[in-house]
């Protein structure tokens, strides 16, 4: 059983930590959630259907995140939003790279500020590449509900003024980010002329 | 015309996610392309949505430090696993396919019940077992009673019946004419009379009367 438990930790730790990290503002909180999830797994290991272990863990993580947000709603959470960026960006980084990182950091912030249902579904679907079926099982929703929440969440991100301004700035400057965006757009819109 | 264009833009922008997820059929795609190709606003919106989508998708999967999970591993190692044949059996059953998980216990129960079912079916229905006579015991615990034992038992029975008769009479007196209470003596007498009518087993003694 112990070996089974350790295998489960090794297999799912990344997914659980990522989910918590992209949902919460402080890295320490994500670590706490990860620990909490695996403690619960140890307590319920015998009862859990091992064929659905991934979905079970994600559901526990999702509930733990909700509880955590409720508990800490009024407290001043330690924000380390840009820590990752600062760690990853050296002095010799180009402006374009910095812009990309800045955009991604802002994006992470915007994702974290979304309402819980939108945020969880965007993280599960777009970042963690989970299938609609898996998300459905984790969140106890129908597939159509998942799709609706996903589309609404994405639309809310597109409505973000910060992201749009950053996009306009970068696009106006003609840095590689804009080129990359143009390139990806062209790839997906074969035969489409852009005005 | 402008309003028609606006509504077209609105619908096209609603479809951006479906387009990016590849959920459109070819006809819808063609219509989408046609509009985006001639509308600068929608093209810009698509570009922004695409970049946003690519940025989200490219966000890395993160992993925590091993130190974070160290206490968790210790927790698992600290609690000794209580092995028992029952848990081992359950674990073995868990590892089997679902149909076998239920079929095996059912088979086991059926095998245990089999001798009982055969024992019951060997008896002729409606026929009772013959009464045992003195000295016809089936096991070592059966004993033959002596005449003294029978007389002592009859004396005890008489005593008990006298007591019950007194209690019955007292109850009749206490309740008076409000309820009709038959004394135990009358009930027992009625039973004996009923028994006397049966010719096969005549009463050999009348301990009460």
Q: Write out chain B residues lying below 8 Å of A180, CB-based.
A: 51, 54
CATH 3.20.20.540 fits A2-71, yes or no: no
Give residue A79's pLDDT band: very low, low, confident or very high (50, 70, 90).
Answer: very low
Establish if B196 touches chain A: CB-CB under 8 angstroms: no
For B35-57, write each residue's pLDDT tens digit: 999 999 999 999 999 999 999 99
Q: What mean pLDDT is reported for chain A?
A: 79
pLDDT value at position B140? 53
Would you kindly state where each structural domain of chain B is located, as residue ranges? 2-57, 85-119, 147-197
> Would you state the pLDDT for residue A102?
84
Query: With bands split at pLDDT 50, 70 and 90, how would you rate the model's confidence at B127?
Result: low
User: Who has greater pLDDT, B5 or A111?
Assistant: A111
- Burial class, A121, CB count within 10 angstroms (exposed 0-12 / middle 13-18 / buried 19+): buried
Q: Which of A41-45, B7-11, B128-132 has the lowest mean pLDDT?
A: B128-132
More confident residue, A84 or B46: B46
User: Which of residues 25 through 64 in chain A touch B, CB cutoff 8 A?
Assistant: 30-31, 34-35, 38-39, 42, 50
DSSP A124: I
Q: Is the pLDDT of residue A59 over 90?
A: yes
State how far the Cα of B108 lies from the Cα of B100, in Å rounded to an integer. 12
The answer on pLDDT for A39 being more than 50 is: yes
Would you kindly state where each structural domain of chain A is located, as residue ranges? 2-71, 83-188
- C-alpha A24/C-alpha A63 separation (Å) is 13
Residues A83-188, CATH architecture:
Orthogonal Bundle (1.10)
Nearest to B52 among A38, A129, A163 (CB): A163
- Give the tens place of pLDDT for each residue, A13-31: 999 999 999 999 788 899 9
Q: Give CA separation, B80 vs A5, A6, A45, in Å.
A: 13, 15, 14
Residue-wise DSSP of B70-92: HHHHHHHHHS-----HHHHHHHH
Round to whole Å and give the CA distance between A194 and A186: 9
Of the candidate ranges A32-46, A132-146, A169-183, the one whose mean pLDDT is the lowest: A169-183
């Amino acid at each position: 059983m112990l070996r089974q438990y350790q295998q489960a930790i090794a297999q799912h730790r990344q997914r659980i930590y990522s989910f918590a990290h992209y949902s919460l503002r402080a890295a320490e909180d994500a670590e706490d959630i990860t620990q909490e999830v695996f403690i619960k797994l140890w307590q319920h290991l015998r009862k859990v259907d091992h064929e659905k272990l991934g979905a079970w863990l994600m559901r526990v993580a999702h509930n733990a995140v909700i509880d955590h947000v409720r508990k800490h709603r009024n407290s001043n959470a330690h924000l380390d939003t840009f820590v990752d960026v600062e760690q990853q960006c050296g002095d010799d980084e180009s402006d374009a790279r910095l812009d990309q990182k800045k955009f991604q950091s802002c994006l992470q912030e915007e994702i974290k500020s979304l309402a819980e249902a939108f945020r969880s579904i965007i993280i599960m679907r777009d970042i963690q590449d989970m299938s609609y079926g898996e998300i459905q099982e984790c969140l106890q929703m129908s597939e159509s509900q998942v799709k609706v929440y996903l589309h609404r969440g994405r639309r809310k991100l597109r409505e973000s003024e910060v992201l749009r301004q950053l996009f306009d700035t970068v696009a106006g400057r003609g840095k590689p980010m804009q080129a990359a965006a143009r390139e990806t757009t062209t790839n997906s819109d074969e035969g489409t002329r852009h005005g | 015309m402008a309003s028609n264009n606006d509504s077209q833009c609105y619908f096209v922008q609603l479809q951006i996610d479906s387009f990016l997820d590849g959920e459109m059929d070819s006809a819808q795609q063609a219509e989408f392309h046609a509009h985006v190709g001639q509308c600068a606003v929608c093209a810009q919106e698509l570009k922004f949505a695409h970049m946003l989508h690519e940025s989200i998708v490219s966000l890395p999967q993160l992993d925590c430090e091993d130190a974070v999970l160290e206490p968790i591993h210790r927790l698992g190692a600290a609690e000794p696993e209580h092995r028992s044949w029952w848990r081992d059996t359950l674990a073995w059953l868990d590892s089997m396919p679902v149909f076998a998980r239920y079929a095996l216990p059912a088979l086991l129960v059926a095998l245990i019940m089999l001798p009982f079912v055969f024992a019951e079916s060997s008896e002729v229905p409606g026929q009772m077992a013959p009464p045992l006579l003195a000295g016809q015991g089936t096991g070592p615990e059966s004993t033959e009673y002596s005449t003294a034992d029978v007389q002592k038992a009859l004396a005890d029975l008489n005593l008990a019946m006298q007591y019950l008769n007194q209690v019955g009479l007292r109850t009749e007196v206490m309740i008076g004419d409000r309820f009709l209470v038959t004394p135990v003596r009358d009930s027992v007498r009625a039973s004996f009379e009923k028994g006397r009518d049966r010719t096969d087993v005549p009463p050999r003694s009348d301990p009460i009367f």
